[in-house]
Structure 1
Amino acid sequence: MTYGMSSHTLPLQPAIRLHVDLDGDLRPHRSAKIEAHLRVDMAADSAPVDLPAVELAVIIAVDVAEANRPAVRHALPTALRALPDGISFTVLGSGPEPVRCYPRGDAEWAVADHAVRRRAVFAAGALPLHRDGPRPAGYAVWAAGARALLTGRPLSVRHLVLITDGSSAPGETRLEEELEACAGQFTCDVFAVGADWNPDPLLALAERLHGTAEFVDEGLGGAITGAIERLRRVHTPRLPIEVTVRPSVRQVSLSEKAPRPRRLRAQAHPERPHRWSFPTYQWHEQGRRDYLLTLVADADTDPLETDLQFAMVSIGDVHEPVVARWHRPGPAPAHASAGAASVRFLTGTAAMRNALREGLEALQKGQREVAERCLGQAASMAEKFEADWVLGEIREVADIEDAAAGRVRLPTAVDSGALRPMILRAGSYPGGTLTDTVFPRPGPYCRQCSTPAGSEARYCIACGKELL
Structure 2
Amino acid sequence: MANFSKSNVPRFSVDVYQNEYLPEGGREVDAIVTVTAAGGAVTSPHPYAPGRGPSAAVALMVDCSGSMDHPPAKMRNARGATAAAVGTLRDGVRFAVIGGTHVAEEVYPGGGRLAVADATTREQAKQALRRLSAGGGTAIGTWLRLADRLLSSADVAIRHGILLTDGRNEHESPEDLRAALDACAGRFTCDARGVGTDWEVKEVTGIASALLGTADIVADPAHLAADFTRMMEKAMGKEVADVSLRLWTPVGATVRFVKQVAPTVEDLTGRRTETGPRSGDYPTGSWGAESRDYHLRVEVPPARIGQEMLAARVSLVVAQPGESARNPDAQGLVRAVWTDDTAASTSINPQVAHYTGQAELAQAIQQGLDLRKAGDIDGATARLGRAVQLADASGNADTAKLLSKVVDVVDAATGTVRLKAKVTGADEMTLETRSTKTVRVKK
* TM-score, scaled to structure 2: 0.85
Asked if 1:111 is matched to 2:120, the reply is no
Name the residue aligned to 2:206.
204
Between Structure 1 and Structure 2, the one with more strand by share is 2
Q: 1:46 to 1:220 in 2, by over 3 A?
A: closer
- The Cα of 1:41 is off from its aligned counterpart by 2.6
Q: 2:92 — aligned with what?
A: 86
Residue 99 of structure 1 pairs with residue 100 of structure 2: no
> After superposition, what is the alpha-carbon deviation per residue over 1:112-169, rounded to whole angstroms, capped at 9, x for unaligned?
22222222222212225333xxx34x43333222222222222111111100012434
Q: Do residues 72 (structure 1) and 75 (structure 2) align?
A: yes
Structure exhibiting the larger radius of gyration computed from Cα positions: 1
2: CA distance, partners of 1:261 / 1:249 = 24
The answer to whether the 8 Å contact 2:22/2:345 transfers is: no
Amino acid at match of 1:21: Y
Whether the 8 Å CA contact 1:161–1:190 is kept in 2: the answer is yes
Q: Are the structure 2 counterparts of residues 227 and 412 from structure 1 closer, same or farther at C-alpha, using a change threshold of 3 Å?
A: closer
How far apart are residue 268 of structure 1 and its match? Answer: 0.6
Q: Which moved more, 1:51-60 or 1:16-25?
A: 51-60
Hey, what's the Cα distance between the residues in 2 that align with 1:78 and 1:243? 41
**Partners of 2:86 and 2:41 in 1: CA distance:** 31
Q: Which runs of 5+ in 1 are unaligned?
A: 1-9, 438-468
State the distance in 2 between where 1:408 and 1:283 align: 40
Tell me the residue number matched to 1:457: none
Q: Is the 8 A contact 1:64 1:166 kept in 2?
A: no
State the percentage of identical aligned residues.
26
Counterpart position of 1:62: 62
Relative distance call for 1:378 and 1:149 in structure 2 (3 A) is: same
Q: Is the 8 A contact 2:112 2:150 kept in 1?
A: no
The match for 2:13 is 17
Structure-2 separation of matches of 1:378 and 1:113 = 48
Which residue matches 1:241? 245
Aligned-partner residue type, residue 120 of structure 2: A
Amino acid at match of 1:366: G
Instruction: Output the TM-score relative to the length of structure 1.
Output: 0.81
Matched residue, 2:324: none
Matched, 1:273 2:277: yes
Residue 36 (structure 1) shift: 0.7
**Which deviations, in whole Å up to 9, do the C-alpha atoms of 1:255-282 show, x marking residues without a partner?**
111112212221112xx22111112222
Q: Which residue of 2 aligns with 1:321?
A: 333
Structure 2: how far apart are the matches of 1:80 and 1:42?
Answer: 27
Match of 2:48 in 1: 50
User: Displacement, 1:28?
Assistant: 5.8
Q: CA deviation at 1:421?
A: 2.2
Is 2:402–2:430's contact at 8 Å kept on the other side of the alignment? no
Question: Compared with structure 1, are the counterparts of its residues 422 and 169 closer, same or farther at alpha carbon in structure 2 (3 Å cutoff)?
Answer: farther
> What corresponds to 1:463 in structure 2?
none
The aligned counterpart of 1:221 is 225
- Is residue 290 of structure 1 aligned with residue 298 of structure 2? no
The alpha-carbon distance between structure 1 residues 334 and 29, as it changes in their structure 2 partners (threshold 3 A), is closer
How far residue 44 of structure 1 moved from its aligned partner, in angstroms, is 1.2
Deviations 1:302-352 (A, max 9, x none): 444211111111125222221112346xx9538854x62221111111101
After superposition, give the CA deviation of every residue in 1:348-386 in whole Å (9 maximum; x if it has no partner): 111012112222233234332221111100111122112
Unpaired stretches in structure 2, ≥5 consecutive residues: 1-5, 317-327
Query: 1:396 corresponds to which residue?
Result: 405
Mapped to 2, the partners of 1:180 and 1:358 lie a distance apart of 26
Query: Partners in 1 of 2:8 and 2:88 — Cα distance?
Result: 28
2:146 alignment counterpart: 145
Distance 2:54 2:243 in 1: 21
Write the deviation string for residues 227-255 of structure 1: whole angstroms up to 9, x where unpaired: 12112221222322111110111235321
Contact 2:32–2:351 (CA<8 Å) still a contact in 1?
yes
1:393–1:89 Cα change, 3 Å? same
What do you get for the CA RMSD once the two structures are aligned? 2.5
Structure 1 pair 151/257, CA: closer, same or farther in 2 (3 Å)?
Answer: same
1:466 corresponds in structure 2 to none
- Which position in structure 2 is the counterpart of 1:344? 353
Question: Residue 441 of structure 1 aligns with which residue?
Answer: none
